[in-house]
Amino acid sequence: MGDDLASVMLTEAQIQDRLRELAAEIDADYAGQDLLLVGVLKGAVMVMADLARALHHPAEMDWMAVSSYGSGTKSSGVVRILKDLDRDITGRNVLIVEDIVDSGLTLSWLQSNLRSRGPASVSICTLLRKPAAAKVEVEVRYVGFDIDPEFVVGYGLDYAEKYRNLPFVGTLAPHVYS
Ligand code: XMP
Ligand code: MG
C-alpha cells in the first residue's frame, strides 16, 4: 500500500478530534429534538460510526446507497439509488452524513430527493469538502475539513473500492490512477 499513497493529509487523531467537535455542535443544535442520521454508503461508513459514537443524542441511523461515480475519479452528475431508506421520513429531522462533497452534484440531488418526502428538515454533515471543485451550491451545515481539490482516499473513501479501510485520509500517487 505504501507506494500508492503520496501523503497523509489528515491523521487519525485529527479526524477523531474534529468529529468530536462536530458531534458537540450537533448535540447542541438537536437537543430535545428528533434526529435521524442518514449515512451514504459506502464512503460514509467510517464517519457515521465515529460521529454517531461521539454523539450523546439518541439519534437513529438509516442508510442509502447512491451511485454517481462508477469506478473513476470524476463525478458524472447522474445519480442512481442503489439502496433506499428503510423507513419513511415524513416529519423527521434528517441529517445526511457524508464522507466528501466534491462537485456537490450527488448531495444536491440527494438533498432535494429527501426534501420531496416531507421531512421536518434536511441538513448535511460531511467530513471533507473541496470548495474549489464545487459545480453546484449545496448548503452544508457541518464540515469537518475544507481541502484542496485533490483525489483523496482512506477513512471510507476509495479508489476502485480500495483504501477505504485506512484509518487516515491520504492523497493517492498519480501513477495509481493515470
Ligand atoms: P460529488 O462530486 O457529486 O461527489 O460531490 C460525491 C461523491 O464522489 C466521491 N468522491 C471521492 N471519492 N476521493 C474518493 O475516494 C475523492 O477525492 C472523491 N471526491 C468525490 C465520493 O463517493 C462522494 O460521496
Ligand atoms: Mg460518498
C-alpha cell at 114: 429527501
With cell 493529509, the residue in question is 9
Return the HEC string of 13-36.
HHHHHHHHHHHHHHHHHCCCCCCE
State pTM to two decimals. 0.93
- Ordered by start, the domain boundaries in the chain are 12-150
Reading phi first (left if > 0) and then psi (alpha if -120 to 50, else beta), residue 70 is in: left
Mind listing the pLDDT tens digit for each residue in 131-168?
998 899 999 999 999 999 999 999 999 999 999 999 99
Architecture of domain 12-150: 3-Layer(aba) Sandwich (3.40)
Split at pLDDT 50, 70, 90, the class of 4 is confident
What value of ipTM does the predicted structure carry? Answer: 0.90
Mutate to test the pocket of ligand 1, among 7, 9, 42, 69 (most ligand atoms within 8 A of CB): 69
Ligand 1 pocket by C-beta < 6 Å: which residues?
Answer: 43, 68-69, 75, 98-107, 151-153, 157-159
